[in-house]
Amino acid sequence: MTTATEARSGKSHRDENFPVASHLIHPRHRGAILAFYNYVRAGDDVADHTELSPERKIDLLDGLADALTGAGPDDPEAAPLRAALAARGLPPRHALELLDAFRMDARKTRYADWDELIHYCRYSAMPVGRFLLDVHGEDPAVTWGPSDAICAALQIINHLQDCAKDYRRNDRVYLPLDTLARHGASVEDLAAERASPALRAVIAALAHRTLGLLEEGRALPDLIDDTRLSLEIAAIHRLAVVLAQGLTTRDPLSEPVHHGKAAFALIALQGVVACLARRPFRRRVLALRGARP
């Protein structure tokens, strides 16, 4: 019987569309972040596995949850994160919420509207940013709101880039059904080699809404006390804006939308430089938002 370890895809943090614990992050935090990533990656691989039944996926995800909380047998996928959380006195809440998203993936393949998609992002994406902020000791009252907006945007960008692959591999469609209907597109359009004009209109509309989320989160780097984390978030935010802008005009079914290595580095650097230039004025940003300096 397949275990969570055996279900691993082989994908690592280096294969993600956005930086994960890059060297901008202080070394004292990178181990905990990578332990979190690897645990979550194991759960995501279970949810995406094409040969496991929904029931078996749920069983494996429940086992990962119990191993993390100590309610069940140890699991090698959970042990590093459990140790990292214990060392920092952090609860397992954020990791467990991500497992809730993977349980949704095991059971659910369609999303009716934008609100339903954002509800999914509440569990599949927002806990990642919240964990990152908690590891750095940032103030949740100040940072969680804009972080949630950015994380939801990152998730939706991934959905848009991978919309054809998700449909073909797992019969999973994150494009809201009401948006498809509004533009005269259908789920079956995702099977084509090239997006129809209607599907292109759907992707563009969702990309524009995603740019709105990124605007909501734009101030986050200036609200973060830890300079290195601030630069990491600024780089991610800039990469996301450029990707979302590209999705307003490009076809993810027939052409690559993700950044090449050179473009990735240049765009990230632009975000870092802009953040550094603003850093001396962050007290003004905090004052305007009513946050502590």
Contact 120, 146 (CB under 8 A): no
Residue 13: inside a domain: no
What's the Cα-to-Cα distance from 124 to each of 99, 128, 151, 270, rounded to whole Å? 8, 8, 9, 28
Residue 142: inside a domain: yes
Contact 177, 112 (CB under 8 A): yes
Residue 14: inside a domain: no
Residues 166, 90, single domain; the answer is: no
Is the pLDDT at 127 greater than 60, yes or no? yes
Contact 77, 38 (CB under 8 A): yes
Residue 8: inside a domain: no
Residues 146, 47, single domain; the answer is: no
DSSP code per residue over 199-225: HHHHHHHHHHHHHHHHHHTTTHHHH-S
- Identify the domain boundary among 41, 69, 94: 94
Residue 117: inside a domain: yes
- Identify the domain boundary among 94, 128, 155: 94
- What SS3 class is residue 145? helix
Residue 73, domain extent: 25-94
pLDDT at 251 (0 to 100)? 96
Residues 124, 85, single domain; the answer is: no
Residues 44, 132, single domain; the answer is: no
How many domains in the chain? Answer: 2
pLDDT in tens, 222-262: 999 999 999 999 999 999 999 999 999 999 999 988 878 88
Residues 59, 186, single domain; the answer is: no
What's the Cα-to-Cα distance from 170 to each of 27, 37, 253, rounded to whole Å? 37, 22, 16
Is the pLDDT at 287 greater than 70, yes or no? no
Residues 126, 227, single domain; the answer is: yes
Residues 173, 270, single domain; the answer is: yes
Residue 124: inside a domain: yes
Spell 116-154 as b/e; 16+ CB within 10 A means b: bbbebbbbbbbbbbbbbbbbbebeeebbbebbbbbbbbb
Sign of CA dihedral 112, 116, 118, 120: negative
Residue 31: inside a domain: yes
Helix axes of 114-124 and 126-135: crossing angle, nearest 10 degrees = 30
Residue 5: inside a domain: no
Residues 184, 254, single domain; the answer is: yes
pLDDT in tens, 48-81: 999 999 999 999 999 999 999 999 999 999 999 9
pLDDT in tens, 192-210: 999 999 999 999 999 999 9
CA distance 164 to 187: 10
- Identify the domain boundary among 37, 59, 94: 94
Residues 208, 73, single domain; the answer is: no
Residues 116, 160, single domain; the answer is: yes
pTM score: 0.91
CATH number at residue 231: 1.10.600.10
Supply 272's token pair: 């870092």
pLDDT at 263 (0 to 100)? 85
Classify residue 24 by its DSSP letter.
Answer: T
Residues 148, 293, single domain; the answer is: yes
Overall size of the chain counted in residues: 293
Residues 79, 136, single domain; the answer is: no
